[in-house]
Copies of this chain bind each other. A is one copy, B any other.
Amino acid sequence: MPIGTQGTVKAVSPRELRELNAQIILGNTYHLFVRPGIDVIKHFGGLHNFMNWDGPILTDSGGYQIFSLAKLRRISEDGVQFQNHVDGTPAFISPEIAMEIQAGLGSDIAMALDECPPWPCERDYAAKSLELTTRWAKRCKEAPRHDRQLVFGIVQGATFEDLRREAAEAVVAIGFDGYAIGGVSVGEPEEEMIRAVESSEPSLPKDKPRYAMGLGTPPQLLAMIARGMDMFDCVLPTRLARNGTAFTSTGTLNLKNAEFTMDKRPIEESCACPSCREFSRGYIRHLIKAEEILGLRLITLHNLYFYLDLIRQARAEIDNGAFEEFRREFVSNYKTRDSEA
């Protein structure tokens, strides 16, 4: 899912998203709540109409951003009191309010409100937090939804295998339309992340979508797919693009580098994206150096295409029964660089 934090996938138009064959995008409830405000989006008939995107939208609950961005948070059984990071306006969010907001946004998939513990996290805290997340999940399940809106529950439990299993069983017992693994990619080492997913996954029903939240590098995505994950959201393709970094099958290129000044090749020779069909590395480098918007537009389009195409290939290879071979080959060609960490 390309990330549309503030009612737009950064630098990209809805038409371009359709041309990239994006099947679903993510909207950040917290950001939209802060600006322009839910009343504005409701006035426009929901987020689809507001931003003119007729494909599916998944909204997060806003919880993650409250914990990572907002100020003066106070968490209680009932919900979270906070001040938004833009103008400090105090606000309160509860499981019921999170669902009401997402109903107002009219997303196709709403996420339950959870507490996402930081990494590292004490076991005691993780256990208590997990129980609160479970009680909140129940309240989210019972809250009113938008017409035909699906709701996903979230598995927490930090890096503790038994807590992950316990969390997964509890959220499955409540019963959701899909299940997300949260609290991963929050700074923990990659092995811990993979263990958290591996501990959660066996308890999640195979016939429901499984969503690994906030991941990751291309090899990480394939590692997650190998472990049964179906859905991802990731800021890397759009965020790194704005920094001049392009994904390729051998790793990222920093297009600011002088070595690309005279380079007539596209970002990737074999790529069929709109940028690679028409523009050279040398031209894109010039645009980025000159701080021209078209530069980050072109890299953003390429990076989104790269991610979406990687998942398309993975899907096809699963159908062919050749996913593991595909993954091994991809990972052996791909060099992960620090900029992706």
A residues engaging B (CB < 8 A)? 6-8, 10-15, 35-36, 40, 43-44, 50-52, 261-262, 264, 278-280, 282-283, 285-287, 289-290, 292-294, 296-298
Q: Known contacts A35-B289, A35-B290, A294-B12: does B44 contact A282 (CB below 8 Å)?
A: yes
Cα–Cα, bound, A42→B36 (Å): 47
A–B Cβ pairs within 8 angstroms, 13 of them: A6-B287, A7-B283, A7-B287, A7-B292, A10-B294, A11-B293, A35-B290, A40-B261, A40-B286, A43-B282, A44-B264, A293-B297, A297-B297
* Chain B min CB distance to A84 (Å): 13
17 other contacts beyond A7-B286, A36-B289, A50-B282, with CB at 8 A cut-off?
A6-B286, A6-B287, A6-B290, A7-B287, A7-B292, A8-B287, A10-B292, A10-B293, A11-B297, A13-B298, A35-B289, A36-B261, A36-B285, A43-B262, A50-B280, A52-B278, A293-B296
Cα–Cα, bound, A287→B290 (Å): 23
Chain B's closest residue to A45 (CB) is B264
Chain B's closest residue to A280 (CB) is B44
Cα–Cα, bound, A240→B264 (Å): 34
Which residues of chain B are within 8 angstroms of A282 by Cβ–Cβ distance? 36, 40, 43-44, 50
Cα–Cα, bound, A286→B14 (Å): 16
* Chain B min CB distance to A99 (Å): 23
* Chain B min CB distance to A2 (Å): 13
Which residues of chain B are within 8 angstroms of A287 by Cβ–Cβ distance? 6-8
Which residues of chain B are within 8 angstroms of A36 by Cβ–Cβ distance? 261, 282, 285-286, 289-290
* Chain B min CB distance to A111 (Å): 22
* Chain B min CB distance to A31 (Å): 8
Which residues of chain B are within 8 angstroms of A43 by Cβ–Cβ distance? 262, 264, 282
Chain B's closest residue to A282 (CB) is B44
Which residues of chain B are within 8 angstroms of A262 by Cβ–Cβ distance? 40, 43
Q: Known contacts A10-B292, A264-B44, A293-B297: does B52 contact A286 (CB below 8 Å)?
A: no
* Chain B min CB distance to A53 (Å): 10
Chain B's closest residue to A277 (CB) is B52
* Chain B min CB distance to A295 (Å): 8
Cα–Cα, bound, A36→B36 (Å): 39
Q: Known contacts A35-B290, A290-B6, A293-B293: does B13 contact A283 (CB below 8 Å)?
A: no
Q: Known contacts A51-B283, A52-B283, A279-B52: does B40 contact A294 (CB below 8 Å)?
A: no
Cα–Cα, bound, A36→B294 (Å): 15
Contact of A13 among B14, B289, B294 (CB under 8 A): B294
Chain B's closest residue to A40 (CB) is B261
Which residues of chain B are within 8 angstroms of A286 by Cβ–Cβ distance? 6-7, 35-36, 40, 50
The answer to whether A11 and B44 touch across the interface, beta carbons within 8 angstroms, is no
Contact of A283 among B50, B264, B297 (CB under 8 A): B50
Nearest 8 interchain pairs by C-beta: A36-B286, A11-B293, A8-B294, A6-B290, A8-B292, A52-B278, A43-B262, A50-B283
Which of A35, A264, A279, A290 has the most chain B CB atoms closer than 10 A to its own CB? A290
Cα–Cα, bound, A280→B40 (Å): 12
Cα–Cα, bound, A287→B4 (Å): 12
* Chain B min CB distance to A313 (Å): 27
